[in-house]
Structure 1
C-alpha cells in the first residue's frame, strides 16, 4: 500500500483530501503544520502533497528538503497563489506537479494515482511486486529503501540485493556459492566467507529478520510473524 503524506493547514481541506485518498486505498498521514511534517521527512513516504502557504514553515522549505534528501520521491505542490511565477518557482525547486486552488478532490486523487504509476510502475500488479512488508520493516524495491515506522535502515547495495533475494524466496535455502554468484556475479572468484560477512552485516542492520544458518551449507530466511 502506498504511503501518502499530506501537509495542509486548513483542517477541513486536510480531512477532505485524506478521505478521498483513503477511499482509493492509500495509507494517509496528514499534517496541519509544516514543522511537524518537517520532522517526518526521513520516514520515506511514497509521495508528498504540500500546501505552499503554511503558517509556520513555508511549503517550499519542505519541498526543498525532500528533494535534497530523496530526489526520486514525488512532491505535488498546492497553492492559493495562482500565478505563473509561483508555478515556475515550484517547478524550478523540483516539485513534480502543481495544483492551483481551488480544485476538486477527485482531481487530486487522479494526479496522485498517475504520479505514483509513473514513479513506481503502472497498475496494481506491479505495485504489489515492488513493496514488501516484513514486520517491522517496509521494503521498497523500486526506491531500494528499507524502513521501520520510525527510521530508514541504511543498507549498502549488496546488503539490499541480499535482502531482496531472501524476501522474494522465503524459506528457500541458498548455498553460499549460490549467494556468491547472485550477489557478486558468475565471474567472481573470491572466498565464500564474503557471504558470511554480508549476512552478518545484514543481520546487524535488520536484527528482526529471521535469517537462519544452515550448517555447512548456507542460509534461508524464515517468515516473520
Structure 2
C-alpha cells in the first residue's frame, strides 16, 4: 500500500536524505523545511507525519497540536536533537506515536515508520512469498513453514533487496550502498560474506554469483 507521508525537517541535507530513503519504500513523500509551510498542508490529512521539534518558525509542539486537532487519529513520529527525555514525554502527552532522537540512521526511521503504519492501518504484514519461505517485512521475520529463520538485521535487509529486485543484477557497490549506506568505508568483500551467510540460512533461495560484478536472485 502506498501511504502519504509528510516530513517536516528544516535541515535541507537531512530532509533530502530522509525523503530519498522513505521514497524507496514506495511511499508518497511531501517534505517541508519550515513549520509555516507544513501548517498550510495540515488539512490534507496525510497517513503519517514525521515531525522535527526544532523548527525555525513554528515549533513541532504547536504543529502536533494543530495536526491532532484536525485529525486525532493521524499518527506522528517526533524527531529531535534536544533533551530526549523531555521531548519524549511532552511528545507523548501531545499525542505523538513514536520518538526518535538525533542523530539516527535513516534506515531506523524507515523501520519505525513501517512498523507504525502497520500497527495503525493493519496492513497485510506479508511482504512476499518466495517458496518455500514467507517473508513478513513489518515484523522483519522469515518463516520456513512454521519455523522462524533467525536472520540478522543486515541479512534481512539483503533478503528484502533481493526480493524487490528479482531477476535484476545487483553490483557489489549497489548492495553495499543499500545495506551499509554511504558512510561505510571498507572493502566491498563484506557483501560476499553477507551473501554467503544468507545462502547458508536460506538454502532454497536461488542467488546467482555474477563474477566480477555482483549477484542476482532468480526464482528457483
Q: TM-score, normalised by structure 1?
A: 0.54
Alignment-derived partner of residue 11 in structure 1: 12
**Aligned counterpart, 1:53:** 54
Report the alpha carbon displacement of residue 85 of structure 1 after superposing the two structures with TM.
1.5
Question: 1:191 maps to what in 2?
Answer: none
Superposed displacement of residue 124, structure 1: 6.3
Q: Distance in 1 between matches of 2:49 and 2:90?
A: 17
Q: 5+ unaligned residues in a row in structure 1: which ranges?
A: 127-225
Counterpart secondary structure, 2:55? coil
Matches of 1:86 and 1:45, distance apart in 2: 23
Deviation at residue 125 of structure 1 after TM alignment: 7.6
2:83 alignment partner in structure 1: 82
The within-5 A match list for 1:72-221 is 72-123=73-124
Q: Secondary structure at the match of 2:29?
A: strand
Give the C-alpha shift of residue 67 in structure 1.
1.1
Mapped to 2, the partners of 1:33 and 1:54 lie a distance apart of 6
Maintained 8 Å contact 2:118/2:125: no
> Does 1:43 find its partner at 2:49?
no
Give the conservation status (yes or no) of the 8 Å contact 1:82–1:101: no
Q: Secondary structure at the match of 2:49?
A: strand
Alpha-carbon distance in structure 2 between the residues aligned to 1:33 and 1:25 = 24
When normalised by structure 2's length, the TM-score is 0.55
Larger Rg, first or second structure (1 or 2): 1
Distance 1:46 1:7 in 2: 14
CA RMSD of aligned residues (A): 1.5
Secondary structure at the counterpart of residue 54 of structure 1: coil
Check whether the contact 1:8–1:33 (CA below 8 A) recurs between aligned residues: yes
Q: How many residues align?
A: 126
